[in-house]
Amino acid sequence: MIETIEFVLGTVSNTASYLRLWALSLAHGQLAEVFLNQIFIYALKAKNFNFTLLFAFLLWPAFWAVTFGVLMCMDALECFLHTLRLHWVEFQNKFYKGEGYAFKPFRYESIVSNVLEDD
């Protein structure tokens, strides 16, 4: 009975974790479109062609700076959350068994000394 409850809770947790990543991906695409529309709408609504070119020339670096800054921060956050989700949710649910064994770090010195002692 307990295993069934743990399985259901784990399924809900994994689904919520993937939905969070999906929401970040959707927000990423929508923000890119909003930045494009909001910045260049001023350039394209100018009555004079020269103003249109001037606004487009001046707003193009601003568009790329804002878009690159915000979207790269979102990409970094998305990568961090995905890695955290894989390490925490997937690893803890599937591979970690808290059986109480003491942690013994891998060391070449101990392996070499054990091999030399056997000879």
Dump pLDDT digits (tens) for 80-106: 888 887 777 777 767 767 777 787 788
Res 42: pLDDT: 67
Taking residues 69-90, report their average pLDDT: 81
Question: 113 by DSSP, 3-state: which?
Answer: helix
pTM: 0.49
Question: 40 by DSSP, 3-state: which?
Answer: helix
DSSP string, 91-104: HHHHT-----PPP-
2-44 helix and 49-85 helix, angle to the nearest 10 degrees = 170
Q: How many CA atoms lie within 13 A of 13 on its CB side?
A: 13
Dump pLDDT digits (tens) for 3-44: 888 788 878 877 877 787 788 778 878 887 887 787 777 667
